[in-house]
Each structure stands twice: as structure tokens, then as C-alpha cells.
Chain A
Amino acid sequence: MDDQMQRIQTAVNVLLRMSDLPPLSSYSGNSVHGSTPSPGDEERRSEEVDDSQPPAPIMGSVDPVDDKIYGLPIHSLYEVTRLPALRGDEKIASSHHKPTVQNDLVSRNLLPLATAQRFFELFTNRLNYFCYGIMCPHNDLESLRSSSTLLTTAICTVSAMHDPDGSVAFKTCYDEFQRLVASHMFSISLSIDDIRALIIGSYWLPSISSTLIGYTIQVAMRLRYHIAYFAAIKGSQQEAEKARLWYILYILDHYYSILYGHPPLISATEEPHQQWEVFISSTSFSADVTRIMNQVALYSIVAKVRERFGTYSSDRIPEPFLEQLGAYFSEVDRWFMAWANRMRKSAPKRWCCSSPPIFLFQSVQGSN
């Protein structure tokens, strides 16, 4: 009986997805929409509620999505197969599964509510600043919990790590965070808060940061964050938010490519990564955005050095090229002069100050 119920549930979820309707769990329980009966019956039950792709073929009748001739190749593949995992556009974001507050680590008694509240405040009052202030757009814990379980868990984990009394809580939250990320691994529909959660993990958790960053960039690209810049400079607030998150991913990518000495995933020559002035002038959050952009501007210099000298060779740099290294040092000096004046005389200025000497001497390291 249970087995049959499970099969019916899975089949219904598939149908709902194909018709671009919300998943089964969001209904009150009396109506199920479906266009055509699907002969695609599942033989295995799916464990996860929302996005798992049933392995059996889905062979309902297919209505054309639209008549557009020009589109991405993946759109054509989706159009004829309707396999949900092949959707390659922003429709994915709108169909993401709403989190259940009943199911997060507070409601499962893994973390007391008071502790979660303390962690939330620690994050929003202090830690959020270190990631340019855009990691938690919620004013209270309730709003955060109802928006994204992943983000709630990420914030609790990182705050616990920064709290002297947070050792035990950190272990619990960290395990829960890893479990949640792993269960979302094959999900194609992550909300903007889920992306924030992944960025937080890459930013502060040293043991999983390099793993997370690659995955996060891939998901963000799937959700078209890398081209949000173009709509953002025309005035779209929602796209501006995505563009800012994309820039943080870009900076993180450059950080880890320096730390680990491997090529970055995101190219530095794309227009959004070169036109930082355009982006700054288009946004109303210019103080925070300036902090982000100064790193983007610095990285364009690093990218030039990397392109010239490469990162793999252990041979000595030939003498004539050493002069050019001096030229890059001067560029960094100019970068510092230009940006130090733009930023307030406070921590942000000192913050960007620490980068040039690091950059200088690590590039000299490379030359020796």
C-alpha cells in the first residue's frame, strides 16, 4: 500500500513538473492537476521530495514550448524531451521548492532556538560585513527560516565557528550543512538564498570551501547569474542582486585560483568583469558595491600577470620579462591610489591594503 502511494506521489510530481506547476507537497491535498496520463511509471521510489529525477523515461505527449527558432541548444533538447533536469533557463528559479520550517535544524531540536537567534544576530551584526553585507537580507530569524533552510544552516554554522562557546553547536550545524548541501547536489532549482548559503560556506569554511566554490559557480551559471550584469545596468533591481552575488563568486574564484595555483573557472575578460565602473554607477548601493569592485579591479591586473607568465612552469622567468613584472607592480600601485581615495578611511580601506603586498610578493615568488 505504502509502495503504491509512493509511486503515485512520484508520478504526480513528475506530471506537475512537466506542466510547470508547483510540487505536490504545496497542495492542500484535494486537487491534483495533470494534463495527460503518463505511461512513465517509476520502479524505484525517490527518497527526496522535490527535485530528484526519476530514472524511468517520461513519455507523455509534448506540446511545443514556443515557436522561437533561435535559442540555446539545450532548449531544443528540453523542448522535445521535457526532462526537467535539462531546463537551462530562469524558469528553474521560479519553481524552486519552498523550504519547510518544520524540517530545519531548530525544529528538529538539533539547535535551541535561543542559540539560533544568537547566531543570527552575530552573523547579521558582524560577519555579514566581511562578505560585503549582502549575505543575509532578512531582518529576523523567522523570515530567514521560512526562506531557505540551507541559508539558515549556513549562517548558524559559520556563526558557531566564530563563537568561543560554539564548539558543540558548530559540529552539529556543520554536519547538518554538509548533509543538506549533499542532498541538494543534483537539484537544479536553488533560490537566491540557497546560492547565498553556498557562498557563505565557500567563504568561511576552510575544509569545504574549494569543493563548494566550483559547484556554486556552476549552479549560478545555470541560473544565469553571469549575465545578470546586463539587465542590472539597465536598472533591474532583482538582477542587480544576482549580479552582486556573481561578482562575489568571481572574487572567490580568483582567491582560490591564487591559493591553490590552478586556473580560475571564470574568465577575466568577459565584459561584466571589466566594466566595474559601469556597474558601480548603475547601482544605488554604491558604497558596498565599491568594496566588491575594488577586488574585481585588482584581479584584472592579476589576470594579466597570470596570462603573461603562466602558473605552471617552474622554470625561471627570462630576464627581459622581469622588467614587465615591475610594470605590473606599478599598476598595483596605481590601483591602490585610485581605490584608497574612493573608500572611506575605515576598515574597508585597510582591508584592500592588505592585498597589494600579498600580491606583490606572491608574484615574485612565482618568478623565483
Chain B
Amino acid sequence: MVADTAVNASNQVKEYATVAVTSASSVLQLVLEREDLRLALVGMPTYMHGMITFAAVFLIKAAKSNFLGLTAVDQDQVFTLIQTFGREMRNQSAAPQHLVFHVSNGLDDLMRASLSRSDGQPTPLDSTSSGVPPAPVTMDSIFMFDTFDCFRFPLNSGVPMDAPMADDYQWANQLAQ
């Protein structure tokens, strides 16, 4: 698909594009949130590394061009997410030949090349000011209630990346619609 056809894309395609971006960021957030998945980064098979990297690279490229105009992608949030993810990979304990180290180096380089930042610092995420309730982008939320809810909300949920997740997370806020 080329950028100039994005204006002609139907709403359905745009919805799916949003799902794609949401899913990709869910993959990375899931790995970061769940301790057992984090611990499994060294130990999981090649396929899982391949697909997680696929998600990360897709997000970087989609952020660069707002997914070819199909859906809004928050560059800052993607930048922070990938950075955190790369940091997590580098903190893993394994032989230097392990894939996690190759991937984390490569992602850093790709991000630097793709997302140009003026000050080199990650922008702290500001709460959404659009008045739309924050989008539930994590794994559990997608499958706990109607999937189509996800189509209505933008990617930038306004949740700081270093906020306590999982147990402490205030799900009540999300569910109060």
C-alpha cells in the first residue's frame, strides 16, 4: 500500500490498521509488564524473538509515517516503549551470542535512524487532553471486553510507562465508561 492511497482506504481498513498498531504495542507492553515473560526473554524460542522484533520494527516504521496515513501513531510513546524494551533486553543475562543482545543493539540503531528527536530525551507522556477516555491497550483488556471498544480509542492512552502496572493498575478507571 502506498501513502497516497490512504485517503481512499475505507474505514474498515483504518480500523484494522488501528488494531495492528494496538496489537503490536500490546506485544511489547505484555513482555514488559509480565514478570514471567520478562524472565522468559532468555529461554524462549527463536520464533518468539522473531515475532516480538517484528512488532517492534513495525511500530518504529509505523510511527515514522503514521502508518502511511491510516491511523495516528504517537511517536513519543513508541519511542519510550522501544527504549524501555531495548533496555530490558540488554539487562538480560546470557552469553553475548544470544539473540536478545543483537536485537537490542539493532533496535536502538533503527530507532535513532527513524525517529529523529531534537533533544535526545524521551518526552514524558502527557495525559490525553482530547477528552476521550484513555484507550485500554494492554493484553488483558483486549480480551476481557468487547474487542470493538479498541477501535474507538486512540493509541495514546496517557499512561506513563513507569507507572505501576498489573496488580496496582486502576482497572476501575478503564471500565467506568
- Spell out A's residues near B (CB within 8 Å): 126-127, 129-131, 160-167, 170-171, 203-206, 209, 252, 255-256, 258-259, 316, 319, 322-323, 325, 329-330, 333, 336-337, 346-347, 350-351, 353-354, 356-358, 360-362, 364-365, 367-368
Contacts and interface: CB of A to CB of B under 8 A. Distances in A.
Given A161-B98, A367-B16, 6 more contacts: A160-B95, A204-B46, A347-B37, A350-B36, A357-B142, A364-B20
Given A206-B49, A358-B27, A347 B36 contact: yes
B1 A353 contact: no
B165 interface: no
B128 interface: no
A131 B95 contact: no
Nearest to A202: B46
A167 B97 contact: yes
Question: Which range contains the number of B residues in contact with the other chain?
Answer: 35 or more
Contacts of A329: 19, 147
30 contacts: A130-B45, A162-B42, A163-B94, A164-B94, A164-B95, A165-B95, A167-B96, A203-B45, A203-B46, A206-B46, A206-B50, A209-B46, A252-B47, A255-B45, A256-B47, A258-B47, A259-B50, A319-B10, A322-B16, A329-B19, A350-B37, A351-B37, A354-B27, A356-B143, A357-B55, A360-B20, A360-B23, A361-B21, A364-B20, A368-B1
A197 B44 CA distance: 17
A354 B36 CA distance: 12
Contacts of A205: 46
A358 B47 CA distance: 11
A361 B43 contact: no
B58 interface: yes
A354 B31 contact: yes
Given A319-B10, A361-B58, A131 B17 contact: no
Contact of B139 (A130, A258, A353): A353
Contacts, number: 131
A186 to B, nearest CB: 26
Contact of B98 (A162, A319, A333): A162
Interface string B28-68: 00110010110010111111111110110010000000001
Specify the main secondary structure of chain A where it touches its partner: helix
B54 A362 contact: yes
Given A354-B31, A354-B37, A368-B1, A259 B20 contact: no
B95 to A, nearest CB: 4
B104 interface: no
Pick from A356, A360, A367 the residue with the most CB of B within 10 Å: A360
Nearest to B70: A368
B161 interface: no
Nearest to A165: B95
A69 to B, nearest CB: 45
A364 B96 contact: no
Given A161-B98, A164-B95, A354-B27, A333 B147 contact: yes
B26 interface: yes
A150 B171 CA distance: 50
A358 B55 contact: yes
Nearest to B50: A259
